[in-house]
Structure 1
Amino acid sequence: MQQLEEKIKQIRMQLEKAKSDLVKAEARLENLERQEEEILRETKELGVEPDQLQEEIERLEKEIKEDLEKAWSYLPQELNK
């Protein structure tokens, strides 16, 4: 009988832990959904649609690289080594 009671106690403890984990996961999901909404809002404010983010990142990286090369070209050749 004692073994049965111990098993029931363990099952209850596992159930309580699962409930606690579920509450934490739901809270985390809500937080992530709010963050996603904020990011999407910010990208739209910047004039970029979410499905174009990768393209915009690549465009900006290319622009930065070109500007850096241009800046280096203005320096005396002795400094470019």
Structure 2
Amino acid sequence: MHNYEEKLNDLKRRLEYAKNKRIKAETRLEQLQIQKKELMNEIKKLGFEPDNLEQEIINLESEIMNLINEAESLMPKDI
């Protein structure tokens, strides 16, 4: 004899589980989108364009190295 009720209950349980997972994922996505927007605004407040961050980092690293080299060149050699 077929156990349709058991199979239907299992399908309902799995469907409910999938719905809950989808809702959690959608909620998390919304949270991440809000966080991204906040971070982008913070970056802009700091005077940087979010789209240019990689180049800005490269420029800052180069500037740091130049300043370190300059500081080293100004140090007395006998210390």
* Alignment TM-score, normalising by the size of structure 1: 0.78
CA distance in 1 between counterparts of 2:43 and 2:29 reads 21
Report how far residue 56 of structure 1 moved: 0.7
Structural mapping, 1:7-46, within 5 Å: 7-46=7-46
Question: Percent identity at matched positions?
Answer: 43
Q: In the aligned structure 1, how far is the partner of 2:48 from the partner of 2:7?
A: 57
Query: Number of residue pairs matched?
Result: 79
Consecutive unaligned residues in structure 2, runs of 5 or more: none
Deviations 1:2-26 (A, max 9, x none): 5322221111111011111011101
Structure ranking higher in helix proportion: 1
CA distance in 1, matches of 2:17, 2:58: 45
TM-aligned CA deviation for residue 76 of structure 1: 5.4
For each residue in 1:12-71, what CA deviation from the matched residue of structure 2 results, as whole angstroms up to 9, or x when unmatched? Answer: 111011111011101101110111111110111111112111111111111122223333
Aligned partner of 2:48 in structure 1 is 48
